[in-house]
A = this chain, B = another copy of it.
């Protein structure tokens, strides 16, 4: 059942002993929305715990050790999870069919929870949570504001992406006025590259190839590139933005080899190309201009399969 922001808050007010889950390979919005909700519910006197995959160092500041103290949960809430398949293997098997409330912002959300608060106009799950807390008149603490800012900033590329609305900027303004240290968070998340990452980015840019008269640019990341530079997938999320940045590119693709030899594909597009449609062909999904999917096969097969679908999407442009 779809619920409004106020209804979702009312549900949360009524329940206790809550477990919060988010998607695997957590990004800033997953971490931010999980800990923002954790702090807000703790401040309301609830027992709350979290289960989360490994968090990249740059995103770990709102993570609170106390959030992992075990107790038997009665209710499960997910944040920023568009599809239960995106939970970790363990949480999927334990809780996939027992989610009481899902809070999300993905247009391509596949409903799996008893109650769902979905706002596809929101830039981030953190924006949805802000609206829910503000709408309910709940005071937003500095810690909650900090976690919410992380999510909103991450999912908008620090307010660069076109999912940034006047409301998103209003939310960010409120969060900063409530004490979110935006300069410091931005510096850690967006302005700091390790030497290892700088080397990795150089290797990645060397692998860049363009197709279809420069309308498509593709970077292929191999496990060897992580090894040579001492990086890991979790540290290199931001590479996804690079191919689309080149002038004239309508579809920017990053194809990452995973440890098991399969491939994770992230697609960023400019209008009128839909990244979500391209990725849905392969059973993936996401937003109109930023989506993902997973493929298996040999590297050249994977690249060719992706290029074929993109070629179709670019055909009449």
Contacts and interface: CB of A to CB of B under 8 A. Distances in A.
A299 interface: no
A169 B176 contact: yes
Contact of A166 (B163, B167, B173, B184): B173
A164 B183 contact: yes
A169 B167 CA distance: 10
Interface of A: 158-170, 172-174, 176-177, 182-184, 186-187, 190-195, 198, 202, 205, 241, 244-247, 270
Contacts of A173: 166-170, 172-173
A195 B246 contact: yes
Top 4 closest A-B pairs, CB basis? A162-B183, A169-B173, A166-B177, A166-B176
Contacts of A202: 202, 205
A56 to B, nearest CB: 14
Contact of A170 (B170, B184, B193, B246): B170
A205 to B, nearest CB: 7
A195 B245 CA distance: 10
B186 A161 contact: yes
With most chain B CB atoms within 10 A of its CB, the pick from A159, A177, A244 is A159
Contacts of A177: 166
Contacts of A198: 205, 246
Contacts of A168: 173
Contacts of A244: 191
Nearest to A161: B183
A296 B146 CA distance: 45
A92 to B, nearest CB: 34
A248 to B, nearest CB: 8
A160 B176 contact: no
B162 A194 contact: no
Contacts of A241: 191
Contacts of A184: 162
Contacts of A163: 183
With most chain B CB atoms within 10 A of its CB, the pick from A169, A186, A193 is A169
A287 B246 CA distance: 31
A159 B162 contact: no
A259 to B, nearest CB: 25
A191 B170 CA distance: 22
B193 A247 contact: yes
